Amino acid sequence: MALGLPDLVDDDLLLRPPCLADVPDIARICRDPDIERFTRVPSPYTEDDARQFVELAAAALADGSGAHLLVVDRRDDRVLGAVGLSIDDRDWSGELGYWVAPDARRRQVATRASRLLLRFGFGELELGYVMLWAAAVNAGSNGVARALGFTHEGTSREAMLDGPTGDRSAPRGDANLWGLRPDELT
Ligand SMILES: CC(C)(COP(=O)(O)OP(=O)(O)OC[C@H]1O[C@@H](n2cnc3c(N)ncnc32)[C@H](O)[C@@H]1OP(=O)(O)O)[C@@H](O)C(=O)NCCC(=O)NCCS
């Protein structure tokens, strides 16, 4: 069933679906080495990849399998990052993911945007649990998880490639599993 999105806004940030006009910004930001290293975006990231992301995000909203949204500045619609909640309808749980443009980092963009999306996930959607995987060496992502009230539930040894998506020559690294239940969101 299609996901109806409420207004997801705070004082400075707005979450909205990506559109084709965002393709150049998405492609530029996703070529950042840390995004290529710590997320599963294709590498090297092209404008075709960004177009596919726009289509995938629209399809996921339409079939109810997830909300993959851009985080933009409310004043001028500048793209600051992205936050996504994939929904597993077998367990009625979700998986959170995010990236933030290098020049917008350390301003709580990931934390605040995730909080808005998680309130929607636990509130309107009534999800029972949300998980987040972060490379153990990814101080930023583990910091965001902690700031949102997630509990570190375990570490999967050598679960991830520590490098661009699909680069089998990259070293392997540990992955932290973080979990959040509805009453734990801070
Ligand atoms: C991880 C990432 C999304 C964080 O985005 P952000 O908007 O800068 O994060 P926030 O400002 O909300 O940070 C919240 C807290 O996390 C911690 N944190 C964030 N970045 C950090 C870093 N580089 N080093 C250490 N701690 C960090 C801090 O405790 C921070 O709070 P503070 O700034 O008050 O100290 C961003 O660095 C990024 O896009 N990285 C590359 C992609 C990625 O790793 N995505 C996640 C994959 S699991």
pLDDT tens-digit series, residues 71-101: 999 999 999 999 999 999 999 999 999 999 9
Q: Please report whether residue 37 resides in a domain.
A: yes
Q: Please report whether residue 159 resides in a domain.
A: yes
Give pLDDT, residue 172: 98
User: How far, in Å, from the CA of 151 to the mean position of ligand 1?
Assistant: 17
Pocket test for ligand 1, best of 29, 141, 142 (most atoms within 8 A of CB): 141
Dihedrals phi, psi of 8, to nearest 5 degrees: -110, 90
Residue 145's domain comprises 8-184
Q: Helix or strand or coil: residue 184? A: helix
Q: Do the beta carbons of residue 45 and residue 36 sit within 8 Å? A: yes
Q: Please report whether residue 3 resides in a domain.
A: no
CA 145 vs CA 45, 64, 148, 166: distances in Å = 26, 24, 5, 25
Give pLDDT, residue 168: 95
DSSP letter for 162, please: S
Give pLDDT, residue 71: 98
Q: Do the beta carbons of residue 23 and residue 57 sit within 8 Å? A: no
Number of domains in the chain: 1
Q: Please report whether residue 77 resides in a domain.
A: yes
Q: Please report whether residue 158 resides in a domain.
A: yes
Give pLDDT, residue 8: 98
Give pLDDT, residue 36: 96
pLDDT digits (tens, 9 = 90+) for 97-147: 999 999 999 999 999 999 999 999 999 999 999 999 999 999 999 999 999
User: How far, in Å, from the CA of 90 to the mean position of ligand 1?
Assistant: 30
Give pLDDT, residue 67: 98
Q: Please report whether residue 2 resides in a domain.
A: no
Q: Do the beta carbons of residue 84 and residue 98 sit within 8 Å? A: yes
- CATH of residue 156's domain is 3.40.630.30
The residue nearest atom 17 of ligand 1, judged by CA position, is: 143
Give pLDDT, residue 97: 98
pLDDT digits (tens, 9 = 90+) for 15-69: 999 999 999 999 999 999 999 999 999 999 999 999 999 999 999 999 999 999 9
Give pLDDT, residue 139: 98
Cis peptide before 44 (omega within 30 of 0): yes
Dihedrals phi, psi of 56, to nearest 5 degrees: -65, -40
Give pLDDT, residue 64: 97
Q: Please report whether residue 137 resides in a domain.
A: yes
Mean pLDDT rounded to a whole number for the chain? 97
